[in-house]
Amino acid sequence: MASLISETFPPKPQFNPDRDIPDLSGKVIIVTGGNTGIGKQTIRALLSKNAKVYMAARSKAKAEAAIAEVSKSIRLSLPRGVTGKDALFLQLDLANLDSITKAATEFMNKEPALHLLFNNGGVMVPPPDQITSDGYDLQFGTNVLGHGHFTLCLLPALLAGAKSSSDGKARVINTSSNAATMINKIDFDTLRDGPQRKKMGRVNLYHQSKLGNVVFSNELAKRYGSEGIISHSLNPGSVKSDLQRHAPSLLLRLFGWILHPVEFGALTQLWVGTSPETINTNGGYFIPWARVGKMPK
């Protein structure tokens, strides 16, 4: 309970992206779900530190609008005459395994190495009739299977990224939630549509998907840590964003007061993805704002 309270009402952040993120020149980064919310804030911070960033998103129109918005905000903050970098669009539908394979292939045809992957995108409590193109529960299929397949497809680029980095590491940052602590196992009978899935309900299906993010992150660290891949999971905090678009209005009215501005939501994953402090703790779990956490067993 103490941990839940601390993560819901975290202390003032000590991490300042403008001050603390090192220069990222030469780094190639992908952020999934980067056209909105926490992902968009993450991309803005990375671009301002000279990284080459791909915004992986389903809608080209929404991504291009977000890229233009981010670019404008960065240019306004730079000295006169300095233009900064633009994010690059990568078509990705995390609810379609073929689309994911195609996106990874397209990226690797353009880039020999990937240094940092933010598995940031996701869905939360969508209508219960929604499933992925491949017949999986939309939340687990998008949040876990989609990101897992994308990461594994990108392994050659991540391994090349580790080899080309001065520290010999590439990082995979998996955005989870404190919802992962609300459930203690994954029920594989609920991953496809059927009676068990309907019985579990969309809120517990969301909790299960967030636990799945942690499980995947830890297993990736275990399997590929010796080859230079660092994998972490995190709770970004209680943040007001487009993620809650399907949440019941009554729930938002009751608990909306605890939601923080979206800018805070990017802090923890930016710290985990760029700080030297987190590179020697493979398989770690982190909490808001930019603190080391402990995932309950």
Query: Which residues are catalytic, by number?
Result: 176, 206, 210
In whole angstroms, what is the distance from residue 113 CA to residue 162 CA?
Answer: 8
DSSP state of 59: -
Q: Checking DSSP bridges between strand 291-292 and strand 28-32, what pairing results, if any?
A: unpaired
Residues 6+ apart with CB under 8 A from 217: 172, 174, 176, 231, 232, 233, 283
**Six-digit token string for 40:** 């968009």
Distance CA 87, CA 65 (A): 11
Buried-exposed string 251-267: b where 16+ CB fall within 10 A, e elsewhere? eeeeeeeebbebebbbb
Instruction: Read off φ and ψ for residue 11, nearest 5 degrees.
Output: -70, 170
Task: Give the count of alpha carbons within 13 A of 201, CB side only.
Answer: 3
Question: Can you tell me whether residue 38 is helix, strand or coil?
Answer: helix
